[in-house]
A and B are shown apart, each in its own frame.
Chain A
């Protein structure tokens, strides 16, 4: 069996006295799609943000591609990363946010190209071509010169996906990518994500779209109060969840 791409070992995290992650154990193997569900405030976003080091972990261990996140082993001990170590690490991981978070002052193509130019150090002409290719992949080549406020929510989210994919990530993180969308726009975003999963991308997806989890997910984890209380193949978690809390939640969203 291949080594996991992401491995969390008893991860804990507090904001002040609020213990948000309370011993999370979690694994994703390369090429897997791992879906996370759970009630609001249970720590799903925080956990996702720990994976790409937007948040730091307080306890336990968190490895991506076999290396500790945020620290480098030097002899007998770990040394914290510097700003540019974080930047370099994050450049290899794509993230898609619930509220799209497109750069409001840039058009769609510039949104996609910015990291290519400033992080991957591509020259502008190459970045421009790459941006157009990525927009084409999510069906938005015709909208390249539009600014975010001129696009629908679904289109903005597809630009955000294109922006993340342009950096050739080895891992994609999705934080409720369809929760802020009008119902009729959800499908177009899910389609882009399905295509990505079929292409073999490793994905961690926080979502309430149970249909997507069942169809595309390899594993489904249920978060509650900062821990994963249920995990396994989506079909079995959905049909015979053992914990009453999972059942109660599923009854509400199904």
Chain B
């Protein structure tokens, strides 16, 4: 993109003369550009004016209640599965970096298992959990106290989708979190330990907040990818966008039309998510951002200014009484 800025000011000679610049036509660039436009227009017309696509039916279905219901389910499913995946991913990463070798092995085994098996298989597995465990029981050991559920009632297609997609994302996300944690300068960990913090405190107060700078930007991509991965829950009849669209076209055979409807919605969701992702990246991408929520307490303290000072001082005096050093 070097040619995007074209000089228009005339060139100054040593004697004060000004000589204008005659622009050059880049012939090759024009030919390639024109060809590309032609190809795009040809493809677009081939689809838009294709007499086998009934566009009026596309618009009929675009806002039909079943499709809209599906969109809502897809959004919820993506949000919840991403939240499960991200939270569990952090836990796995911390386990993998823990000193306890048992925790390390468990985390490594989890990651290997969930990355090693297709999501599709996992979805179907969770949906059919009742074959393995007809009842799910939570019981206090050696007593009769506990609760029991019928697996088929708990493991709805929505639940199976959440587990399948969430647990799977966690395995991938753990690696991102681990990279984020390891990118935080070790010296700060040492300083925190030297300052009397335990390993857990150091992780929570010093390391994780800084690792977020590396962890957060990819979460946008994970979510966008999740929006579309949810379409796999078709296999467990998840009543999401794709499931509903496919159930409609199985009845009326308007396959392409409903795929277009679904695609339009996925594209809209992706566009919205991309917008938020760019905001997220702007907020967390640069080194200068402050990762603590809101302004620091000293800033708040200074900003509260004079009127608040008497109140603060009385609080401070009280707390000083309460604290013995």
B82 to chain A, nearest CB (A): 24
Judging by beta carbons under 8 Å apart, are B196 and A119 in contact?
yes
Judging by beta carbons under 8 Å apart, are A107 and B193 in contact?
no
Judging by beta carbons under 8 Å apart, are A110 and B195 in contact?
no
Judging by beta carbons under 8 Å apart, are B196 and A110 in contact?
no
Judging by beta carbons under 8 Å apart, are B210 and A105 in contact?
yes
Pair count A-B, CB < 8 A: 122
Partner of B298, one of A52, A126, A144: A144
A96 to chain B, nearest CB (A): 9
Q: Check: B144 CB closer than 8 A to any chain A CB.
A: no
Which of A8-16, A20-28, A163-171, A223-231 lines the interface with chain B? Answer: A163-171
Judging by beta carbons under 8 Å apart, are B191 and A122 in contact?
no
Partner of A126, one of B192, B194, B206, B319: B319
Judging by beta carbons under 8 Å apart, are B299 and A168 in contact?
no
Which of A29-37, A65-73, A86-94, A198-206 lines the interface with chain B? Answer: A86-94
Task: Note all chain A residues with C-beta closer than 8 A to B197.
Answer: 87, 115, 118-119
Partner of B319, one of A123, A163, A167: A123
Judging by beta carbons under 8 Å apart, are A52 and B316 in contact?
no
CA distance A92 to B299 in the complex (A): 29
Partner of B188, one of A88, A92, A104: A104
Judging by beta carbons under 8 Å apart, are A87 and B198 in contact?
yes
CA distance A78 to B297 in the complex (A): 44
Partner of A106, one of B190, B201, B292: B292
B314 to chain A, nearest CB (A): 10
Task: Note all chain B residues with C-beta closer than 8 A to A102.
Answer: 188, 191
Task: Note all chain A residues with C-beta closer than 8 A to B297.
Answer: 109-110, 113, 124, 128
Task: Note all chain B residues with C-beta closer than 8 A to A97.
Answer: 187, 190-191
CA distance A224 to B195 in the complex (A): 29
Task: Note all chain A residues with C-beta closer than 8 A to B323.
Answer: 122-123, 126
Residues of A in contact (CB 8 Å), total: 49
Judging by beta carbons under 8 Å apart, are B196 and A101 in contact?
no
Task: Note all chain B residues with C-beta closer than 8 A to A52.
Answer: 194
Contact A93/B194 with A104-B185, A128-B297, A144-B298 known, Cβ cut-off 8 Å: yes
Partner of A145, one of B195, B199, B296: B296
CA distance A93 to B198 in the complex (A): 15
Q: Check: A83 CB closer than 8 A to any chain B CB.
A: yes
Q: Check: A219 CB closer than 8 A to any chain B CB.
A: no
CA distance A95 to B185 in the complex (A): 17
Partner of B196, one of A90, A125, A129: A90
Proximity bits, A76-90, B CB within 8 Å = 1, else 0: 000000011011101
Task: Note all chain B residues with C-beta closer than 8 A to A145.
Answer: 296, 298-299, 302
Judging by beta carbons under 8 Å apart, are B195 and A91 in contact?
yes
Most-contacted residue by chain A among B302, B322, B325 (CB, 10 A): B325
Judging by beta carbons under 8 Å apart, are B325 and A168 in contact?
yes
Judging by beta carbons under 8 Å apart, are A120 and B191 in contact?
no
- Near A by CB (< 8 A), chain B positions 283-308 give 287-288, 290-292, 296-299, 301-302
Q: Check: A147 CB closer than 8 A to any chain B CB.
A: yes
Task: Note all chain B residues with C-beta closer than 8 A to A118.
Answer: 197, 201, 205
B248 to chain A, nearest CB (A): 50
Q: Check: A249 CB closer than 8 A to any chain B CB.
A: no
CA distance A109 to B312 in the complex (A): 17
Judging by beta carbons under 8 Å apart, are A128 and B301 in contact?
yes
Judging by beta carbons under 8 Å apart, are B296 and A119 in contact?
no
Q: Check: A19 CB closer than 8 A to any chain B CB.
A: no
Q: Check: B315 CB closer than 8 A to any chain A CB.
A: yes
Partner of A109, one of B190, B192, B210, B298: B298
Judging by beta carbons under 8 Å apart, are B190 and A103 in contact?
no
Q: Check: B51 CB closer than 8 A to any chain A CB.
A: no
Most-contacted residue by chain B among A106, A122, A124 (CB, 10 A): A106
Q: Check: B209 CB closer than 8 A to any chain A CB.
A: yes
CA distance A99 to B201 in the complex (A): 22
Judging by beta carbons under 8 Å apart, are A115 and B196 in contact?
yes
A143 to chain B, nearest CB (A): 11
Q: Check: B60 CB closer than 8 A to any chain A CB.
A: no
Contact A101/B298 with A90-B195, A126-B316 known, Cβ cut-off 8 Å: no
Given A107-B299, A114-B206, 9 extra CB contacts under 8 A = A106-B296, A110-B297, A115-B192, A120-B196, A125-B312, A126-B319, A126-B322, A128-B297, A128-B316
Q: Can you list 9 A-B contacts (CB < 8 A)?
A: A54-B194, A87-B201, A100-B187, A101-B190, A103-B206, A105-B206, A107-B298, A110-B292, A119-B197
Which 5 A-B pairs give the minimum distances between C-beta atoms?
A91-B196, A101-B187, A101-B191, A119-B196, A115-B195
